[in-house]
């Protein structure tokens, strides 16, 4: 092979003669530049500060929400953001149905497990009673065994 590792890792230009390898230092600088923050114009806050400011503004708007002012007729139809309210009205049946289905699925799954366990205990109880009855009947068998029951004489007259 004869090539060193930096020569193998260095990108080459398409076959236009002998391509010069990129020095390892340039590759390190390019990798380091990936982890640096993006350049921002002067006077613009950093991205993290704007996120915290927007979260602060959202929490302030939630705290200052007033139901009586929101549902006042003039404010509701002219200034209020009614989209979330109407979306809630539209999707309330679907949300209710899905929550109800999830509740009853959980309850029936729980009841099904309890019924399976109860059925197994009942089967075990019946099996134990059958075993006791068979054991008591086998202890009453005469020494010669049980003779077959004959209805009438064994030979005709």
The predicted-structure confidence for 26-68, as pLDDT tens digits, reads as follows: 667 767 666 666 666 666 655 555 778 788 888 888 888 888 8
pLDDT of residue 12: 59
**Do 82 and 76 meet the contact criterion of CB atoms below 8 Å apart?**
yes
In this predicted model, which residue has the larger pLDDT, 1 or 11? 11
Gap between the Cα atoms of 104 and 132, Å rounded: 42
Residue 61 has a CB neighbour count (10 Å cut-off) of 9
Q: What is the pTM of this model?
A: 0.36
Element (H, E) at 76: helix 73-78
Q: What's the 3-state SS for 29-70?
A: HHHHHHCCCCCCCCCCCCHHHHHHHHHHHHHHHHHCCCHHHH
- Looking at the chain, the whole-number percentage of residues with pLDDT higher than 70 is 68
Structure confidence by residue, pLDDT tens digits, 94-106: 999 999 999 999 9
Strands, E, within the chain: which ranges?
A: none
């Amino acid at each position: 092979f004869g090539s060193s590792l930096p020569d193998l890792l260095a990108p080459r230009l398409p076959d236009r003669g002998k391509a010069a390898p990129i020095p390892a230092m340039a590759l390190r600088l390019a990798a380091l530049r990936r982890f640096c923050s993006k350049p921002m114009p002067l006077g613009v806050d950093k991205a993290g500060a704007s996120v915290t400011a927007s979260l602060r503004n959202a929490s302030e708007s939630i705290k200052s929400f007033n139901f009586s002012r929101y549902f006042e007729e003039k404010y509701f139809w002219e200034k209020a953001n009614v989209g979330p309210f109407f979306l809630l009205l539209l999707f309330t049946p679907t949300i209710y149905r899905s929550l109800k289905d999830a509740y009853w699925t959980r309850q029936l799954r729980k009841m099904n497990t309890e019924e399976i366990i109860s059925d197994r205990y009942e089967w075990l109880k019946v099996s134990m009673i059958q075993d006791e009855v068979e054991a008591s009947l086998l202890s009453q068998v005469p020494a010669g065994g049980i003779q077959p029951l004959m209805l009438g004489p064994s030979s005709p007259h």
